Structure 1
């Protein structure tokens, strides 16, 4: 079995999202340590400036100061000593789209982002995204 580079695995992940996600519009992978967008795939063209801020917006969504404060409060109230992040998946509905952000299970510094049309069945979106992530672990 050959070892794939991280770049190859990230590209395979976004390619699998395109095939498996119902009502697919776009997907990407964000490195939370650098805020960089590691890969992106869209069915439409998007302005570069939108893609450039995706990493920063994803960081704020998962690890912004107030989000970390909430995570720490939940951990404290539950008596958890874990250093793991509390929030693993976040779903955002916009006017026409559904945006699913998922922390990778084997690397919590990497977030997969999947965008689908608002007509998507939310349950199928979650099931499909989780299956793709499980089969394409980073």
Structure 2
């Protein structure tokens, strides 16, 4: 299945989903996106940059380093991170960011209406992530 088809399938499977994107944090690119509305390229570029900041920003990596230090971890396994899922509630939307287990530099972004059931959104997002990972 292609990434575009997997994104479309995810959008159809996740309750009240208005957008799905797949970000490569290593390159800073949004590899694919499906939305119910059109958005200017500048906004979509910022989604990729903001996703990188959420997972790889200076303060986040410092928190991970301090967690390791406090737990006596000196050799963290490659690709292992503390922050793998981030949920953001905005005024009208729920934004779910899931880090890929197969490639820690990849993150899927799922955006739903605030009225969606958060439990179903998380469950369906996790299932959809599995399909998305296999396409890239």
Alignment TM-score, normalising by the size of structure 1: 0.88
Whether 1:93 aligns to 2:86 is no
Q: Which residue is 2:72 aligned to?
A: 79
Per-residue deviation, 1:79? 2.6
**CA deviation vs aligned residue, 1:58-113 (integer Å, no higher than 9, x gap):** 10111011110011111222233324121000001111000000001111110000
Q: 1:119 aligns with which of 98, 106, 115?
A: 115
Q: Which residue is 1:27 aligned to?
A: 20
Q: Which residue is 1:132 aligned to?
A: 128
Q: Which residue is 1:63 aligned to?
A: 56
Q: 2:37 aligns with which of 26, 37, 44?
A: 44
- Judged with a 3 Å threshold, the aligned counterparts in structure 2 of structure 1 residues 135 and 52 are, in CA distance, closer, same or farther, namely closer
- Judged with a 3 Å threshold, the aligned counterparts in structure 2 of structure 1 residues 40 and 91 are, in CA distance, closer, same or farther, namely same
Could you list the runs of 5+ residues in structure 1 that have no partner in the other structure? none
Contact kept, 8 Å, 1:30 with 1:36, in 2: the verdict is yes
SS at match of 2:133: coil
SS at match of 1:15: helix
SS at match of 1:137: helix
Alignment TM-score, normalising by the size of structure 2: 0.90
Q: In the aligned structure 2, how far is the partner of 1:102 from the partner of 1:13?
A: 15
Could you list the runs of 5+ residues in structure 2 that have no partner in the other structure? none
Could you say what the CA RMSD is over the residues aligned between the two structures, in angstroms? 1.4
Per-residue deviation, 1:14? 0.9
Divergent runs of 4+, >3 A: none
